[in-house]
């Protein structure tokens, strides 16, 4: 079984700590002894700022942020062109005796603003 959510419209964050990416939340069912492979795909993000900008992506499971994260940064302190940095995060989430809520999260690195202007997806594949 595959579970899927897709964002829409332009979004951005300049948060210094994890916040939810609007539209990217799924519920995974109960299932002891198995897991869900959770995939966050952000195909065209970019960051703006003047302190080597970048973005960090993660997931939360029932409001607990996973320690597994994906980050991108630029090589320049203040890039004149903010190229797109495709970012994908894959995390295995053990299933438990109850449904769980999985939410995509993000924040700006070193005070930067992270932008999404194309659809991003959050998928869960039950294994």
Cβ pair 53, 71 in contact under 8 A:
no
Burial 19-46 (b: 16+ CB within 10 A, else e): eebebbebebeebeeebbebbbbbeebb
Please tell me the number of Cα atoms within 13 Å of 106 on its side-chain side.
31
**Does this model's pTM top 0.75?**
yes
pLDDT for the residue 2: 78
Domains of the chain: 2-126 (2.60.120.760)
pLDDT, one tens digit per residue, over 22-31 is 999 999 999 9
Sequence length of the chain is: 127
pLDDT for the residue 112: 96
pLDDT, one tens digit per residue, over 86-115 is 999 999 999 999 999 999 999 999 999 999
For tokens 């930067």, name the residue: 112
Of all residues in the chain, the percent with pLDDT exceeding 70 is 99
Separation of CA 100 from chain center = 17
């Amino acid at each position: 079984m595959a579970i899927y959510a897709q964002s829409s419209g332009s979004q951005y964050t300049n948060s210094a700590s994890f916040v939810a990416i609007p539209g990217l939340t799924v519920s995974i069912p109960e299932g002891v002894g198995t897991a869900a492979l959770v995939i966050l795909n952000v195909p065209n993000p970019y960051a703006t700022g003047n302190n080597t900008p970048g973005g960090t992506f993660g997931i939360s499971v029932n409001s607990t942020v996973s320690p597994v994260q994906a980050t991108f940064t630029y090589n320049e302190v203040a890039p004149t062109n903010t190229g797109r940095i495709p970012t994908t995060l894959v995390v295995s989430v053990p299933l438990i005796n109850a449904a769980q809520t999985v939410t995509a999260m993000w924040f700006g690195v070193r005070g930067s603003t992270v932008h999404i202007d194309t659809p991003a997806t959050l998928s869960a594949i039950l294994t």
